[in-house]
Amino acid sequence: MKEINVIDMIIKQLPFAILIINQDGDVSSYNKKAEELYSHEHRYDFRILEKINVEELINQEYAKALVQKLNWMIQYNKSKVNVVLDTVNYSRVYKTSIIHLRQENAEVNNDEMFLVSIHKDHFFDELEAVIKELDDIRYALEESSIVAITDAFGAITYVNDKFCEISQYEREELIGKDHNIVNSSHHSKQFFRTLWQTIRKGKVWRGEIKNKTKQGNYYWVDTTIVPFVGADGKVTQFVSIRNDITDRKIAEEKIRYIAYHDDLTQLPNRRYLLKYLDKKIKRRLESKKPFFVFLMDLDRFKILNDSFGHRAGDRLLIKISERLLKLSNEIDILARYGGDEFVILAEIESKEQAMEFAQKCLREIRKPVVVNGQPYYITASLGISQFPADGLEEEELIKRAEMSMYFMKENSNNDAQFYNEHIKGSMDRKISIEKNLRQALETEGLYLVYQPKVNSKTKQVYGVEALTRWHSKELGFVSPGEFIPVAEETGLVYQLDSWVLENACKQAKEWQKKGYPPITIAVNISVAHFEKNELVQVVNNILEKYELDPAYLEIEITENLSLNEIKYVHNILLDLKNLGVQISIDDFGTGYSSFGYLRKFQIDHLKIDQSFVQRFNISEDEIILQAIIQLAKNLGINVIAEGVEEKEQLYFLKKHGCYNIQGYLFSKPEKAESIEKEIFNKNSNLYLKINEICV
């Protein structure tokens, strides 16, 4: 019974007695006030009231009159009427207003229903207003909401048009069925168990439900289920009012998708991966069934990105993700973990299979990617950790795969590495270096030593190279070979280089102030620093601060750069040149540089790497060395050999025209106080040695 049931729940709240009866006078519903009125007047038991005929409430004569009135109303199509009817208790006269509740769905419900209001006064107008209000509410509810009524067992007894519309079922297909008909299987059994527990207790349940249409599409409804409790305290029926929130849910799902996926490759992101991994681990804590974590990091991706543009970089990442996805059905999940980092969790049981799989991944990555008709080549380094052997927590497993990847990168790119105890040890050491170096940069422990650069022809010291030394309270002496790479990886190198620049320039100026003849001071600047666009500014500020003529500052940058790095270093070098600073290419012979760029960069000095000097008697190296010296000369670049330890090396270099020498042969790097006694005093041990050796 459509309207009645919907109105029913509202009528129950009204502040005067209302009965809903049919044309025979059978009471089908009443509100609290009616219950009070009759149980007070007649001591009727609340539970009985529902099953009675109106004859039992008011005197028979008038009950008959009422029923006649109702039939009269039907016959003459009257919708409302006021009558005076006595209650069974003759002592009080109650006036009655009747409203015919029109049934829209007459074939389903043959009963004509009437709303009878009994009150001390007629209040037809008020009642009408209330009915209108109820009808408005009903209308609003019906129009705006998806309404369904079920019996106590959950069988659908009523659905409104909106319900049919959204579920795409005909009314007849729904009546008599339960809500399983629209079940989407999205929610757990527990979800519905809680729902039923709540409404069976007579409590209102609210929540969001994902349902399925007849055609198999999904929709979301914000649902309120109101249980109606009968006179005996038992739930008689449930009215559910739903609102379509599919659009909102889609938007929410989209937002969730964005939060958990990478925009570029559409792969799950780091957040998703960690959650997923956490769940996976929890499920396996008991069985300990193994799986592997593969973490790949593209080698020198940043350089590719910077040199060829982000479009090429993006294209490459997309292509690689597509290839990896197709790789094998052992892949449980492939996530983009960071800029150029991918993580795969794979259902693999043995280390042998894991290594095979890793190699497959690396092969896929190595295949060229064509962007705008041009092939791009990239390699990756891959670290592997294993559940449960390498960790029982998600962060731990990822971290260890990452450590193994870094270990691989340091040793050689483009291969795969399992996590092991050795890696753990070296990583712990790095972490401790980072921590202590950070402190040292803020407090103390770092100092500079200076190594003379000698012109063996003029027998003069013409400059010094500043080299950093670190004595850590906790770690003891740590060599630059160990802490510089850590500083580069962690970004501490910016601070470190600035610290060196500042202290070296300060020292150079102090020597000048002491009246010593000015000499060039060389400072090593890490390539990583060139990625930050502040180097020129930093150098300029320091030179101004100490009022040092830029001509006395030399910047050494390692030649061990890739061709791509060279490109972005180029502009900064030119800016430094414009400041008036000298530029030196360090470790020359170890990189990929061409003489073409040496000219373009307007390099002042070229430092032949120690390895060449030390292998001078190997004929192949001798030829290369000769070529380097010759070409530098042709380009007008000053050549210096570093790491010269023996006289033979010096003679050999001199023979080929390299007169500038730096090395233990003359002096080890020393602290400022010691070195100044040597380099500014022509009678020093250093000068004695120079004069003795350089005949």
Provide the terminal-to-terminal Cα distance of the chain, rounded to the nearest Å: 120
Print the binding letters for residues 424-453 with ligand C2E: x by CB under 6 A, - otherwise.
---------------------------x--
Does position 587 interact with ligand C2E (CB under 6 A)? The reply is yes
Question: Using an 8 Å Cβ cutoff, are 242 and 222 in contact?
Answer: yes
d(CA 625, CA 589): 8
The piece of 206-214, 278-286, 629-637, 639-647 that touches ligand C2E (CB under 6 A) is 639-647
Q: Which is nearer to Mg ion, 85 or 608 (CB)?
A: 608
Does position 526 interact with Mg ion (CB under 5 A)? The reply is no
d(CA 632, CA 624): 12
Q: Report what 267 binds from ligand C2E, Mg ion, none; CB cut-off 5-8 Å by kind.
A: none
Q: Name residue 206's beta-bridge partners.
A: 224
d(CA 16, CA 36): 10
Does position 678 interact with ligand C2E (CB under 6 A)? The reply is no
Closest CA to 586 of 620, 549, 612: 612
d(CA 159, CA 60): 38
Q: Which is nearer to ligand C2E, 587 or 678 (CB)?
A: 587
The count of chain residues that interact with ligand C2E, using the rule CB under 6 A, is: 24
Pick from 369, 500, 553, 557: which binds ligand C2E (CB under 6 A)?
500
Closest CA to 560 of 596, 541, 588, 535: 588
Q: Report what 497 binds from Mg ion, ligand C2E, none; CB cut-off 5-8 Å by kind.
A: ligand C2E
- Return the DSSP state at 353: H
d(CA 568, CA 172): 74
Q: Which is nearer to ligand C2E, 308 or 470 (CB)?
A: 470
d(CA 124, CA 260): 61
Print the binding letters for residues 531-570 with Mg ion: x by CB under 5 A, - otherwise.
-------------------------x--------------
Pick from 139, 257, 592, 664: which binds ligand C2E (CB under 6 A)?
664
Does position 390 interact with ligand C2E (CB under 6 A)? The reply is no
Report the phi/psi class of residue 626: left, alpha or beta, with left for phi > 0 and alpha for psi in -120 to 50: alpha
Q: What is the CA radius of gyration of the chain?
A: 45
Does position 645 interact with ligand C2E (CB under 6 A)? The reply is yes
Does position 643 interact with ligand C2E (CB under 6 A)? The reply is yes
Smallest gap, in angstroms, from Cβ of residue 588 to Mg ion?
Answer: 8
Q: Which is nearer to ligand C2E, 268 or 643 (CB)?
A: 643
Pick from 8, 586, 670, 678: which binds Mg ion (CB under 5 A)?
586
d(CA 675, CA 693): 19
Does position 481 interact with ligand C2E (CB under 6 A)? The reply is yes
Pick from 1, 663, 670, 687: which binds ligand C2E (CB under 6 A)?
663
Question: Using an 8 Å Cβ cutoff, are 585 and 609 in contact?
Answer: no
Pick from 417, 468, 507, 520: which binds ligand C2E (CB under 6 A)?
468
Pick from 71, 350, 412, 479: which binds ligand C2E (CB under 6 A)?
479
Site for ligand C2E in 510-539 (CB under 6 A): 524-526
Which single residue is written with the structure tokens 């670290």?
383
Smallest gap, in angstroms, from Cβ of residue 573 to Mg ion?
Answer: 16
Peptide linkage before 388 cis (omega within 30 of 0): yes
Does position 642 interact with ligand C2E (CB under 6 A)? The reply is yes
Does position 667 interact with ligand C2E (CB under 6 A)? The reply is no
- Residue 181 neighbours by CB distance under 10 Å: 14
Does position 524 interact with Mg ion (CB under 5 A)? The reply is yes
- Residue 201 neighbours by CB distance under 10 Å: 11
Smallest gap, in angstroms, from Cβ of residue 461 to ligand C2E?
Answer: 14
- Burial class, 263, CB count within 10 angstroms (exposed 0-12 / middle 13-18 / buried 19+): exposed
Site for ligand C2E in 183-242 (CB under 6 A): none
- One DSSP character per residue, 438-461 reads HHHHHSS-EEEEEEEEEETTTTEE
The piece of 21-29, 184-192, 264-272, 661-669 that touches ligand C2E (CB under 6 A) is 661-669
Q: Which is nearer to Mg ion, 97 or 584 (CB)?
A: 584
Q: Report what 500 binds from Mg ion, ligand C2E, none; CB cut-off 5-8 Å by kind.
A: ligand C2E
SS3 at position 349: coil
Pick from 112, 262, 587, 676: which binds Mg ion (CB under 5 A)?
587
d(CA 541, CA 552): 15
One-letter identity of residue 490: T
623, two tokens: 């030829």
653, two tokens: 């270099």
Does position 554 interact with ligand C2E (CB under 6 A)? The reply is no
Q: Which is nearer to ligand C2E, 174 or 492 (CB)?
A: 492
Which residues lie near ligand C2E (CB under 6 A)? 451, 467-468, 479-481, 484, 497, 500, 524-526, 556, 558, 586-587, 610, 642-645, 663-664, 669
Which residues lie near Mg ion (CB under 5 A)? 524, 556, 586-587
